[in-house]
Amino acid sequence: MPSAEGGAGSALDIDLDPSLIFAKWTGAAGVLLAVSGGPDSLALLLMASIWSRDSGTLVFAATVDHGLRPEAAEEAAYVGEICAALGVPHAVLTWRGPHPKTRIQELAREARYRLLSEHARKVGANVLMTAHHADDQAETILFRLLHGSGVAGLAGIREETQAYGLTLARPLLHLRKPELEQVCADNRVPFICDPSNTDAQYARTRMRRLTALLEAEGLGAEQWRRFARRMAGADEVLRRAVADARVHIRKEASSERVRLDVQSLKGQPVDVIAGVVDAEITALLMPTDSIRLDRLERSALALRQALEDGQAWKGTLAGAILNLDRSGRLTIAKEGPRQRGRGLHAGN
């Protein structure tokens, strides 16, 4: 196990300025750092501790012990030693209860964010900060590209989002993993290597190997950053177009259904129609999961065609019945148990 000895409180001997990296969050009520003990999160901890001292912003740290590896408790204790040397309050959060046999990484991630958000509120922090970096960004975009994501997904990891009643911040997205490893080396702080990072059964490991091959062909971190920035811009344009389209739609809504005059959507791009349908179903049903993009696109395409032809159309999508009459009036209603059993599908 790495030792916490060796200058954890020393100044960083690198060309990185914590006051610039974390400037956006100066003055936050409190910042909770998610620190696993790997090089990325330890670098985040080292730099954030300097920023906290200089800016006066309160910083806390927490390590989640998922209980999936016997070494996890010892690794969490090691992070605690580093935090103690830096004067950063630290807590170990344990994922208790039966663990899943499948979708382990996905469910562990959900548990991790739940535990971290609960602890953030407990200590009075309104920002939860993670150590996602440029290499994570490349892997994320590639994974989403291979799985058919739209422009919102292809914008990758955002620097800042709102979730769990907190601001989720990722201040290191512009830095490469070797740079973060160098932060640890310059401060003589050994880091922990998670064996799952090299296990090919996990998608993240496979994406890492693919991004390395693509980088050799010229598609590296800078190119992925540019791609993410452009996709974020395209997503913003689409969101504004959807918002504008919704403004021009007459609507009557109740708790069970919404009626929309969608004649104004005739001739609109499929992505705009899909955005309107998505927004209305989400407002009506408040689903816990996002609507599958391929199904949403099929429904939007069928709806646009029916509008152009002046025809009626009926389909189901994400627990809602969509019913368009010949006059261009669309009713979206909650799908009842009987209708679910019929297996009605979008486009029927």
pLDDT per residue as tens digits for the range 40-92: 999 999 999 999 999 999 999 999 997 677 788 899 999 999 999 999 999 99
Is 5 contained in some domain? Answer: no
Is 4 contained in some domain? Answer: no
Same structural domain for residues 298 and 196? no
Same structural domain for residues 147 and 200? yes
Q: Which of 206, 181, 203 is nearest to 192 (CA)?
A: 181
Same structural domain for residues 26 and 134? yes
Radius of gyration of the chain (CA): 24
- Which among 193, 228, 263 is the end of a domain? 228
Per-residue pLDDT, 268: 95
**Residue 306: which residues within 8 A CB-CB, separation 6 or more?**
312, 313, 324
Per-residue pLDDT, 196: 63
Same structural domain for residues 79 and 190? yes
Q: Specify whether the backbone of 294 is left (phi greater than 0), alpha (psi in -120 to 50) or beta.
A: alpha
Per-residue pLDDT, 333: 95
pLDDT per residue as tens digits for the range 275-334: 999 999 999 998 877 899 999 999 999 999 999 999 999 999 999 999 999 999 999 999
Count of beta carbons in the 10 Å neighbourhood of residue 343: 8
Which CATH number does the domain housing residue 191 bear?
A: 3.40.50.620
Is 267 contained in some domain? Answer: yes
Structurally, the chain folds into a number of domains equal to: 2
pLDDT per residue as tens digits for the range 77-133: 999 999 999 999 999 999 887 776 677 777 888 889 999 999 999 999 999 999 999
Is 236 contained in some domain? Answer: no
Same structural domain for residues 158 and 201? yes
Is 8 contained in some domain? Answer: no
Is 244 contained in some domain? Answer: no
pLDDT per residue as tens digits for the range 235-278: 999 999 999 999 999 999 898 999 999 999 999 999 999 999 99
Q: Which of 72, 17, 43 is nearest to 61 (CA)?
A: 43
Identify the domain containing residue 124 by its residue range: 18-228
Per-residue pLDDT, 343: 40
Same structural domain for residues 258 and 303? yes
Give every strand in the sheet of 166-169, ordered side by side: 90-94, 59-65, 31-34, 127-129, 166-169, 160-163
Is 41 contained in some domain? Answer: yes
Same structural domain for residues 285 and 254? yes
Same structural domain for residues 43 and 161? yes
Per-residue pLDDT, 195: 65
Same structural domain for residues 146 and 208? yes
Per-residue pLDDT, 193: 80
Per-residue pLDDT, 283: 92
Work out the mean pLDDT of the chain and round it to a whole number. Answer: 88
Same structural domain for residues 181 and 291? no
Same structural domain for residues 254 and 302? yes
Per-residue pLDDT, 233: 97
Same structural domain for residues 185 and 253? no
Is 155 contained in some domain? Answer: yes
- Which among 165, 194, 228 is the end of a domain? 228
Report yes or no: 307 and 266 within 8 Å, Cβ to Cβ.
Answer: yes
- Which among 181, 198, 228 is the end of a domain? 228
Report yes or no: 103 and 55 within 8 Å, Cβ to Cβ.
Answer: no
Quote the distance between the C-alpha of residue 340 and its chain's center: 31
Q: Which of 347, 238, 239, 340 is nearest to 298 (CA)?
A: 347
Query: What is the rounded distance in angstroms from the CA atom of residue 265 to the CA atom of residue 234?
Result: 20
